[in-house]
Amino acid sequence: MAGLCAALAAARRGATVALMHERPVLGGNASSECRVPVCGADRAGGIPYLRETGILEELRLENCRRNPHRDYSIWDLILYERAQYQPNLTLLLNCSCLEAEVSGDLIASVTGWQLTSESYHTVKARVFADCSGDGVLIPLAGHPFRMGRDARGEYGESIAPEAADSRTMGMTCFVQAREYDTPQPFEAPSWAHRYDSIDDLPRDNGHHWEIEGKQFGLGYWWVELGGEHDSIHDTEKLREELLRIALGVWDHIKNRGDYGAENWALEWIQFLPAKRESRRYLGAHVLTQNDIEAEGRFEDVVAYGGWTMDDHHPAGFRAAQVGASATIYHPAPSPYGIPYRSLFSPTIENLLFAGRCFSATHAALSSARVMGTCASMGQAVGTASALAAARGVLPAAVMESIPELQQQLLEDDCYLPWVRQELPALTIGARLEASQGDPEPVRDGIGRPVGDGMHSWMWRPGDWIAYTFGRRMMVHEVVLALDSALDRDIAISLYGGHHHHSCDRVPEVMPRRVRMEGLSEGSWGLVARLDGNYQRFVRVPIGRDLEGVRVTLEETWGAAESRLYACYVR
């Protein structure tokens, strides 16, 4: 998700981009090959209004509209379509980066082997962004990195071990099951492990809540190994063992306990282990536990996180055998800021990075690794890359233009804690009126509820909001931040087959039809209309000289009222 968002952001900001990706489907752990749900600062809807907007929100809402059955192939298709048909972006699928040409302190090119066409592709660029999870350019470009847990004294982190070690969080193979109307027998293959007692299986904070809570839709995150191995070079050996464990757990559920899984049958098994942690770049700043606990109030905040510091036991599945919980959830604030300095290299001057290989300690990564946070970093890195490329400067020089980078991210509907969007002069100088209530919050530069403020105006079908300028002005576009139910989880997920999901339909509060009228010679006339809308962030081109613009809500996707978070004209 980091790489996809970086590539889309850079291309949309006008850079010429190549996305070199080694799999046939996009999304990394979020793709159909792994099926991990994208979580982030809102903790899967647990903390309202902190969901990552920007490109990730656009992808999720597209999925709500087009994927009513929560089918991972449809999600793949949405990600593919966005990248494949994005102007300025060349998508190189099935192409594994295996070489970098470094000249002085710069990467001159990277080369990948494309399996399907038996060909090498070399990409020369001004700026490179490594979003490969494992940080593939670290060995290829000889970049300083860390792998494993940092010593407590090194960054003063209370949750770090006394001495540094090479242990990481592990990798997982899921199994997916489906419920049928009739009993479904399961016979484990002879090579699967056998678990007679539930006590053979790891607990999460002391409980077997997932199995006993009957969550049979998607397998178990604690089928995890690799933390005590080399989470890169041992992957193939670990896959074999993970499959033996995953099938053993399913055999336990079906045949060695009474969990009410009679009608459930396996329908998918994950052959590509999903990883949580391996190499981490040493960037211009290393994000730490203390930074997170202090809310990351950096001047150069360009992304944010908010997941707990969810530090998995390095023994993973075997934690049960040493009497440990499979993870410890250390508290973290949400949101906390992530600085631009953790996303670029101080040594290779044209290199940025985003996602789980970014510059953080093990402790900080235990929170920031979730994919909403990775996507937020990705959009920041893509936007910064385009800014650097357009100016002909290196990523470090973007530090001098942080307010501009932040404003570009806000303009593209990203959320940055503590940073307010500066709205266009045309909007600020206009007179604002509405059919009812106080519409001022739609131009306060904050596009979502924060703290006690809702930063929005509530409208119902028939309600309107109008800007008038007092004279004719060129109106290029109307920009709207609409209601996408930021207080709910809309990520595609197979977890908890029995749970209520809101990712399989457009949120009811979303405006479906919105009318835009222009004031010309004293009378209002239709200039544009949104019909069938399901996106939160909408830019409507106008391109006319007008004395005012009026925006009317005509219909939602079912709710009686909806929040308008931003409405401005430029």
Ligand X SMILES: Cc1cc2nc3c(=O)[nH]c(=O)nc-3n(C[C@H](O)[C@H](O)[C@H](O)COP(=O)(O)OP(=O)(O)OC[C@H]3O[C@@H](n4cnc5c(N)ncnc54)[C@H](O)[C@@H]3O)c2cc1C
Binding region for ligand X (CB under 6 A): 1-3, 20-23, 28-29, 36-39, 96-97, 112, 131-134, 136, 171-172, 221, 274-276, 355-356, 369-372, 374
Count the helix, strand and coil residues of the chain and give each as a percent rounded to the nearest 5: 25, 25, 45
507: CB partners within 8 A, 6+ apart: 64, 483, 484, 485, 488, 490, 557
Q: How far is the CB of 131 from ligand X (least distance, A)?
A: 6
Between the CA of residue 64 and those of 1, 68, 395, 400, 503, what are the distances in Å? 17, 7, 35, 39, 5
Q: How far is the CB of 220 from ligand X (least distance, A)?
A: 9
Rounded Cα–Cα distance for residues 208 and 505 (Å): 31
Q: How far is the CB of 322 from ligand X (least distance, A)?
A: 20
Rounded Cα–Cα distance for residues 133 and 1 (Å): 10
Interhelix angle 371-391/2-12, rounded to 10 degrees, is: 30
Closer CB to ligand X, 39 or 432, in the complex: 39
Closer CB to ligand X, 28 or 339, in the complex: 28
Q: How far is the CB of 567 from ligand X (least distance, A)?
A: 31
Closer CB to ligand X, 319 or 442, in the complex: 319
Closer CB to ligand X, 318 or 455, in the complex: 318
- For the record, the structure tokens of 39 come out as 């979580």
Q: How far is the CB of 229 from ligand X (least distance, A)?
A: 14
The residue among 153, 98, 50 whose CA lies nearest residue 376 is 50
Q: How far is the CB of 512 from ligand X (least distance, A)?
A: 29
Q: How far is the CB of 352 from ligand X (least distance, A)?
A: 13
Closer CB to ligand X, 32 or 350, in the complex: 32
Rounded Cα–Cα distance for residues 328 and 446 (Å): 34
Closer CB to ligand X, 132 or 484, in the complex: 132
104: CB partners within 8 A, 6+ apart: none
Between the CA of residue 502 and those of 26, 105, 232, 488, what are the distances in Å? 23, 48, 36, 7
Q: How far is the CB of 236 from ligand X (least distance, A)?
A: 15
Cβ-count burial of 113 within 10 angstroms (0-12 exposed, 13-18 middle, 19+ buried)? middle
Q: Find the DSSP H helices in 188-259.
A: 209-212, 235-255
CB 383 within 8 A of CB 409: yes
Rounded Cα–Cα distance for residues 165 and 364 (Å): 16
Q: How far is the CB of 106 from ligand X (least distance, A)?
A: 20
Closer CB to ligand X, 360 or 475, in the complex: 360
Strand partners for 329: 310
Q: How far is the CB of 91 from ligand X (least distance, A)?
A: 12
Closer CB to ligand X, 369 or 563, in the complex: 369
Closer CB to ligand X, 20 or 409, in the complex: 20
Residue by residue, DSSP assigns 81-148 as HHHHT-TTEEEETTEEEEEEEEETTEEEEEEEEETTTTEEEEEE-S-EEE--SS-THHHHHT--EE-S
Residue 496 region by backbone torsions, left for phi larger than 0, else alpha for psi between -120 and 50, else beta: left
How many CB atoms are closer than 10 A to CB 560? 9
Between the CA of residue 61 and those of 53, 65, 155, 485, 499, what are the distances in Å? 10, 6, 39, 10, 20
Q: How far is the CB of 213 from ligand X (least distance, A)?
A: 16
Closer CB to ligand X, 80 or 467, in the complex: 80
Rounded Cα–Cα distance for residues 541 and 539 (Å): 6
Q: Name the phi and psi angles at 310, rounded to 5.
A: -100, 80
Residue by residue, DSSP assigns 38-85 as ---TTTTTTSTT----THHHHHHHHHHHH-TT--HHHHHHHHHHHHHT
Closer CB to ligand X, 149 or 356, in the complex: 356
Q: How far is the CB of 306 from ligand X (least distance, A)?
A: 11
Q: How far is the CB of 136 from ligand X (least distance, A)?
A: 4
Closer CB to ligand X, 15 or 36, in the complex: 36
Rounded Cα–Cα distance for residues 505 and 542 (Å): 30
Q: How far is the CB of 128 from ligand X (least distance, A)?
A: 12
Rounded Cα–Cα distance for residues 19 and 84 (Å): 10
Closer CB to ligand X, 301 or 370, in the complex: 370
Closer CB to ligand X, 171 or 315, in the complex: 171
- For the record, the structure tokens of 279 come out as 């190499």
How many CB atoms are closer than 10 A to CB 145? 17
